[in-house]
Amino acid sequence: MLIAENTVVSFHYRVSDDESSELIDSSENSEPMSYLHGARNIIIGLEKALEGKQAGDDVEVTVEAAEAYGERSEDRVHKVPREALSDIERVEPGVTVVANTEQGQLNLVIVDVAEDEVTLDANHPLAGKRLKFNVSNETGREASEEELAHGHVHGPGGHHHD
C-alpha cells in the first residue's frame, strides 16, 4: 500500500541528532507510532519523506531544523523575576516549568538562575537541530471516517500531537 493522504501509517523509528549522531528517541521496546498521513500529526519533514513510499519500505531521511522542530529563536528566551517561580519546588537549570498562556500550555526550560532572576527558554529542546530518522516496518491502512473527521488516529499506537 502506498503512503498517501488519508492513510494511517504505523512505523518504528529511531531519531538521532544529525551532527553528533546521538540517539534522541526510539520506538524500540514499545508500540509502533501511528499517524494520519496528510494531517500534520508528525513533523512535516518526516511526513514529506514518507509520502509515496510503499508501506514496508525502510526509510532513512535527514530533516532540516525548519521542517522538524523549527529554528532556535533567541526571542523565545526570557528573563523573569525569581519570585515569579515561587511556587516551583526546584528552581535550577534543566528543570522544565509549565506556563499557562493564551495559546495553551507552554513548556519552558530553566537555563540560568541568578539571585533575583531566572532565564527561561521556550524553544523546543530539539529546535535548531537537523534530525536523522530511520523508519522501518511501516504498515498502512485506509483511515476510518471518524479518524478523518478528527484529524488523528484512534486506537492502539494513535498519538495526537498539538
Q: Which fold has domain 75-121?
A: Thrombin, subunit H (2.40.10)
Helix (H) / strand (E) element for 46: namely helix 44-50
| Predicted local confidence at residue 161, as pLDDT | 46
Range 13-26 average pLDDT: 96
Confidence of residue 101 (pLDDT cuts 50, 70, 90): confident
Per-residue pLDDT tens digits for 117-151: 999 999 999 999 999 999 997 799 999 999 999 99
Contact 156, 20 (CB under 8 A): no
Out of 69-83, 95-109, 147-161, least confident range? 147-161
| Predicted local confidence at residue 157, as pLDDT | 59
Confidence of residue 162 (pLDDT cuts 50, 70, 90): very low
Question: Domain 7-69+127-150 belongs to what architecture?
Answer: Roll (3.10)
Kindly report the number of other CB atoms within 10 A of residue 121's CB atom. Answer: 20
Q: Who contacts 36 (Cβ-Cβ below 8 Å, separation ≥6)?
A: 6, 7, 8, 143, 147, 148, 151, 152, 153
Our CA dihedral for 30, 18, 95, 92, rounded to 10 degrees, sits at 150
Range 83-92 average pLDDT: 91
CA distances (Å), origin 124, targets 63, 128, 129: 16, 9, 10
Which residues make up the CATH 3.10.50.40 domain(s) of the chain?
A: 7-69+127-150
Which residues make up the CATH 2.40.10.330 domain(s) of the chain?
A: 75-121
Range 89-114 average pLDDT: 92
